[in-house]
Chains A and B, each alone.
Chain A
Amino acid sequence: MGLQKSEIMLVAAALAIGLLSFVIPDWLAFTTTLAIASALVVLGVVMLMRAGLVSFGQGLYYCIGGYAVGMGGRFLGVTDALLLIGMGVVVTVALAMVLGLLLTRYREIFFAMLTLAFSMILYGILVKSHNLGSTDGFGVGDWTLLWFDPEGGKGSRTVLWLATGVGLAVALFLNRYFGSSMGLACEAIRENEVRVEYMGMSRRQILYINYVIAAAIGSVGGSLTSLAAGHVDPTMAYWTISGEFVFIALLGGTGHVAASFIAAMIFIMVRTYAVELFPNSWQMILGIVLLMIILFLPKGIWSLFTRKRRVAS
């Protein structure tokens, strides 16, 4: 099985980030790490969007991933980053398998509201958890990567490499997934559910599997964020954060896995410069920029690439 063209591009992009990490300033390395981490969560949102569902509760799994890293280090003494991420995925998958049973029955606004409700339940529980620092959250301890011990870990090149590696793996997987019968069936469900059933496929099974995978990827994004930032707090499960992921998903569009990464990077760069240059009105700048992108590119940033191709041909 040969590599597709977009896969070669993804690998090349990951290698480029790996090489660039030696020359870019630290703050940019950190920002890139956060962008990759949130792009993973956004990919989960995109997976659901392809099936016609909008989740306003992806922060639930983002938060679980983050807290798994924090609590695994603090209470269980686990320091290996990959193991910590894995723990988050296990907890997430277990929860998503239960919630998925209920959520896949719902569509449209009902799905959106229910996902939002579940993530706000987690937020409420964490706010009440005095031992976990309530709204203040708590710090993530130092971590290691396999045999490698990055000093302090946080914010270093190592976490960028880790994020790039994990991000590449997820991107390659999803690229194949979107083209697989399973991924295509999701799009078919968005267009016409009844027909999918007539074709002999179970729409609930497809949506269920899709939901669980999206949750697991969201958890990985949360784990990477907390490994990089060194702190977790309940805001991760708050609905505004979930809304941010939906926004980045719309910004990028559902056309390609790379779109989420590009959109996340643009979002985070626009935000950080808006905060720096317009401390009193950065939200407005952010809003205007995002509005312009939506007006000019209603199908997301990725439509820039596909349109060019159409025009050329």
Chain B
Amino acid sequence: MGHPTPQAGLRRTLLSTATSVALVSAGVIGFGQAAHAEDTFKVGLVTFLSGGASGPFGVPAAQAAETVIRAINAGELPAPYDTAGVNGLQLESVVIDEAGGPTKQVEEYRNLVQRQNVNAVIGYISSGDCLAVGPVAEEMKTFTIAFDCGTPRLFDEVDNPTYLFRTGLDAVADNVGAAHYLNDAKSDAKRLAGIQQNYAWGQDSWLDFTLSMEQLMPDVEIVDNQTPQIFQGSYGTEISALQTSRPDIIHSSMWGGDMEAFVAQANVRGLLDQATAILTTGESGLHRFKDQAPNGTILGGRGPFGGFMPENELSEWFSKAYEEEHGTPPSYPASKMAQALLGLKYAADNSGAEGVPTSEQLAEALKGASFESVSGTVDMGLAGGHQALQPMLYGEYHYSDETGPELRNVRSYKGACVSPPDGQNAQEWIKAGFPGADCN
């Protein structure tokens, strides 16, 4: 490092002092920000805008939020959401990037509530972020909807929640549903293998899935499970290992780019000619696979989302509006974001509040409620009325140049079939043979 001459040093000092002062004062802006206007409802949206989860999940969700919020404010949604705004208030959104890990998300959550004065928060794709933010939401008494994260531990860590909701299913339902689908559609399967990303999501998914298979298809032999690193991208070794163990079913909970990369590589290597893949989050690739995934590959959409949305006015409107604006049909993360926003609108419209509803009024309105959504009627029937109970769907991917991508042989399993009753540990419930499950 050089030693500046006195004159240059002075000039530099002045320049750098000015920069630093500017920085510090920028930090102090917003210190005493005035409370937001009374005729808007401000919602914080937290989703991945950078990093590996942004492309497949975060950005589609943010785009869906944009579309739905604009329609809510204009009053363009079909019934029962055809009134403008939420409880008559224009919806204003603040978007925050979810990247950076749980500690940073706790910090940003506090900033949203206390600095930006949001009335509610919708967000969180990563399970770690959900687990970290959940207790803070309760502490800060702010109405919060987790729209996508799949950890079954959420309402164990936040027992007896008041302000925290989840308008989707947890990962247990994905894997119990997958086992049911195989039992119904692939009853001749003999050898099962898996490939999962080596982190909590992959480990939990494989555990729940294998436990369910032991109950439903005890004759199937589990021959292999590969656990590549997350975002590894290249799966040559794993594919070779899987080929030597000659499975006829391959279960994978991999998501996003990893899932698509695996499918493309396994297809080229011929692995997917030997075996049928069942991809629990495969729906996010429905409109991207083209001919890279073989026909008959089994896809799940983490519930009745994306390509699995039932036909109703809301889903038709949403598919059309989303495709017009963003050029591709909505995938499951987009539908889940739309569902969370509709949940918020339902809660606000039914809060009975004059003006801006409080978090208590919103929570009271959504707790245990049934609201219409793009995925049909959502029943907030789990975790004491704080989590959605919804059916789980799986179907086969078929593609041809004429028809484009299609889902065939779609089977739906009721919420009460794939989710444990309230208060039961999921793994114990599966091991006990799904007591109380209603699968008819």
Contacts and interface: CB of A to CB of B under 8 A. Distances in A.
B428 interface: no
A139 B96 contact: no
A139 B106 CA distance: 12
B194 to A, nearest CB: 16
Given A137-B102, A233-B128, A299 B49 contact: no
Nearest to A33: B107
A235 B96 contact: no
A78 interface: no
Interface in A282-307: 282-283, 289, 292-293, 296-299, 301, 304, 307
B425 interface: no
B103 A225 contact: yes
A31 B107 contact: yes
B132 A137 contact: yes
Contacts of B50: 280, 283
B354 interface: no
Interface stretch (B197-205, B330-338, B362-370): B197-205
B108 to A, nearest CB: 6
B287 interface: no
Contact of A304 (B17, B29, B101, B115): B17
B199 A134 contact: yes
Interface residues of B, number: 52
Which of B94, B110, B201 counts the most A-chain CB atoms under 10 A from its CB?
B110
B37 interface: no
A165 interface: no
Q: Which 9 A-B pairs have the closest CB atoms?
A: A134-B200, A231-B132, A269-B27, A135-B199, A27-B114, A296-B16, A235-B101, A136-B200, A136-B128
B131 interface: yes
Interface string A212-229: 000000000000010001
Contacts of A307: 9, 12-13
A124 to B, nearest CB: 9
Interface string B192-228: 0000001111011000000000000000000000000
B26 to A, nearest CB: 6
B132 A134 contact: no
Interface of A: 25-28, 30-31, 34, 127-128, 130, 133-139, 152, 154-155, 225, 229-231, 233, 235-236, 241, 266, 268-270, 272-273, 275-276, 279-280, 282-283, 289, 292-293, 296-299, 301, 304, 307-308, 310-311
Contacts of A301: 20
Nearest to B197: A135
A275 B97 contact: yes
Interface string B84-128: 000000000011110001110011101101111000000000011
A296 B16 CA distance: 6
Contacts of B101: 233, 235, 241
A272 B106 contact: no
A34 B102 CA distance: 13
Contacts of A233: 101-102, 128, 132
Contacts of B132: 137, 139, 229-231, 233
B145 to A, nearest CB: 19
A279 B114 contact: no
A154 B139 contact: yes
Interface string B13-38: 10111011001101101110000000
Contacts of A135: 128, 199-201
A299 B1 CA distance: 8
